Amino acid sequence: MNIGNGFEDDPEYIRKQNTIKGIQEFVDNTIMEGEFNKNTLILLNGKITYSNGAILEGKFDEITGLLIKGKITFPNGDIKKGIFNRKTGRLVKGKIIFKSGNIKYVP
């Protein structure tokens, strides 16, 4: 098996065959854009913009749909960056950058 060969035994080839790029808009004005699982339409990589101004960007869990690596920008200007728990969505490693400029590191 050769990785990156573009054939059916190539994991990247398989991933690309099971995903589509696009934009989903919801009635509450939430917008999801990026790479979606073709069967479940769960966002895998991309950006979610909520109507309240919160923005999630990065890689999302293929089962729960929760952000697992990336950045959350809150409406008040606070930002969480790092790795998030795939079951709870809580930041487990990274940092919180507060609007005030203060930074809190999460181990």
Give the position of tokens 């790795």.
Answer: 83
The tens digit of pLDDT for each residue in 26-74 reads 999 999 999 999 888 999 999 999 999 999 999 999 999 999 999 999 9
Taking the C-alpha atoms of residue 83 and residue 1, their distance in angstroms, rounded to an integer, is: 31
Residue-wise burial string across 5-35, b where 16 or more C-beta atoms lie within 10 A, e elsewhere: eeeeebeeeeeeeebeeeeeeeeeeeebebb
pLDDT at 9: 63
Retrieve residue 67's tokens: 């952000």
Confidence of residue 14 (pLDDT cuts 50, 70, 90): low
CA dist 9 → 20, 64, 93, 105 (Å): 20, 27, 33, 41
Retrieve residue 63's tokens: 């089962």
In a 13 Å sphere around the CA of 59, the CA atoms on its Cβ side amount to 7
pLDDT at 39: 87
**pTM for the full predicted model:** 0.83
